[in-house]
């Protein structure tokens, strides 16, 4: 999907679901997005898979000085909304310069992960209805 259409589609899907299902999808989605962003950070690569650049000494940058960004960066669910948690005042700089978070188009792997989360939330809901 072009641009952030996957996020727009997720938001529409959440709004169309029963509230309990949307809560489950938002909670699971925030956990999955946090896992993906931390996985990229640990691999020293942007969320698009590009390796972090090398510094003046020739070694690859880690983006870790104090650990505040690495440890605090993530997503949280508030009701049916998924929002990003940005620790530290310089995190916005790292997003723009090193793409530690999506900057424009979300990665295809993130879109696929969100599709799985939403599908599971819906199937779990249907299974609960069938068991009732």
pTM of the predicted structure, to 2 decimals: 0.83
Question: Is 132 a domain residue?
Answer: no
For residue range 111-125, list pLDDT tens digits in order. 899 889 988 988 888
* pLDDT at residue 5 tops 90: no
- The confidence score (pLDDT) of residue 46 equals 93
Question: Is 62 a domain residue?
Answer: yes
User: Residue 80 belongs to what domain range?
Assistant: 5-124
Question: Is 129 a domain residue?
Answer: no
Question: Is 29 a domain residue?
Answer: yes
Question: Is 35 a domain residue?
Answer: yes
Q: How confident is the model at residue 78 (pLDDT cuts 50, 70, 90)?
A: very high
DSSP output for 15-40: HHS-HHHHHHHHHHHHHHHHHHHHHH
Q: Domain total for the chain?
A: 1
For residue range 27-61, list pLDDT tens digits in order. 999 999 999 999 999 999 999 999 999 989 999 88
* pLDDT at residue 132 tops 70: no
Residues comprising the chain, all counted: 132
């Amino acid at each position: 999907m072009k641009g952030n259409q996957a996020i727009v589609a997720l938001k529409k899907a959440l709004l169309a679901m029963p509230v309990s299902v949307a809560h489950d999808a938002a909670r699971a989605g925030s956990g999955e997005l946090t896992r993906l962003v931390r996985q990229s950070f640990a691999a020293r690569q942007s969320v698009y898979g590009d390796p972090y650049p090398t510094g003046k000494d020739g070694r690859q940058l880690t983006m870790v000085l104090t650990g505040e960004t690495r440890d605090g960066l993530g997503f949280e669910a508030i009701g049916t909304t998924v929002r990003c948690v940005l620790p530290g005042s310089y995190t916005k700089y790292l997003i723009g310069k090193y793409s530690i978070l999506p900057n424009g188009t979300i990665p295809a792997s993130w879109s696929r992960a969100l599709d799985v989360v939403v599908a599971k939330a819906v199937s779990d809901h249907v299974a609960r209805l069938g068991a009732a």
